[in-house]
Amino acid sequence: MRVLVVEDDADLRRGVEGALRSAGFAVDTAPDLPEADEALAVNDYDCAVFDRILPAGDALGYVRRRRDAGWTLAVLFLTARDSTADRVAGFEHGGDDYLVKPFAIAELIARVRNLCRRGRVVRPPVLRHADIELDTARREARRAGVLLTLTGKEYSVLEQLMVHEGAVVGRDVLIEHCWDAMAEPMSNVVDVAVAGLRRKLGAPPPIATVRGAGYRLT
């Protein structure tokens, strides 16, 4: 799952980025709305976290304008404004969630994960394919009832394959959702993650390579 964090406070931005990365998210950051615009123009995110008051203005208006144009990305407002009127304004302007500073990192991670899981369509909390089960709330994967020890990237790749069950998922889609801007698109990071995932899933192998196209669950 890939998240954009828009926050002008450098220390807080780095702290949120580090916490989300440690929780298994791919994270890009922007210090202001113009850079957020650039990131949103070239990347596909599962959720965006916006500080409300940014150098270029209040993020409420920015999100409202995008919503009016048909934008569907899940948005969490992160702000020190804690009045009932502020919270209501956040939702009325297109926010999906609203978290007041100071906040607990565990709560932020849980809220972001919930928004990513909901995404643009409602998904069940537990994904299943044959004897593979993915509990997206606990971030646990099992095969034939046996808990698997996956890296964050292996889990993310498996989640994308299960969300698109039966369909071919291209390397570009996996890069887009499971890695962030620090990843080199031409590197073998996807191949390494898929190889590790195949090894841990065991036999019979559930991941097929579709030459020149990507991977799919069989």
In order, the DSSP letters of 6-26 are E-S-HHHHHHHHHHHHHTT-E
Question: CA–CA separation, 207 vs 218, rounded Å?
Answer: 6
What confidence score (pLDDT) does residue 158 get? 92
2-118 folds as Rossmann fold (3.40.50)
pLDDT in tens, 18-35: 999 888 888 999 999 999
What confidence score (pLDDT) does residue 144 get? 92
Q: Which residues contact 195 (CB under 8 A, 6 or more apart)?
A: none
126-217: what CATH class? Answer: mainly alpha
pLDDT in tens, 168-187: 888 878 887 787 766 665 56
Question: CA–CA separation, 150 vs 155, rounded Å?
Answer: 6
Domain ranges in the chain are 2-118, 126-217
What confidence score (pLDDT) does residue 147 get? 93
- Residue 108 has φ and ψ, to the nearest 5°, of -60, -50
What confidence score (pLDDT) does residue 171 get? 82
What confidence score (pLDDT) does residue 72 get? 84
Q: What is the 3-state secondary structure (H, E, C) of 93-140?
A: CCCCEEEECCCCHHHHHHHHHHHHHHCCCCCCCEEEECCEEEECCCCE
Question: CA–CA separation, 140 vs 148, rounded Å?
Answer: 7
| Mean predicted lDDT score pLDDT of the chain | 86
* Helix 59-68 vs helix 33-42: crossing angle, to nearest 10: 30
Omega prior to 102 cis, within 30 of 0: yes
What confidence score (pLDDT) does residue 17 get? 92
What confidence score (pLDDT) does residue 184 get? 61
Task: Give the global pTM.
Answer: 0.63
How does strand 53-54 pair with strand 47-51? unpaired
Q: Which residue has the tokens 């048909």?
A: 70
Binned at pLDDT 50, 70 and 90, residue 163 comes out as: confident
Q: Which residues contact 146 (CB under 8 A, 6 or more apart)?
A: none
pLDDT in tens, 92-139: 888 999 999 888 999 999 999 888 876 555 566 788 888 999 887 778
Binned at pLDDT 50, 70 and 90, residue 3 comes out as: very high
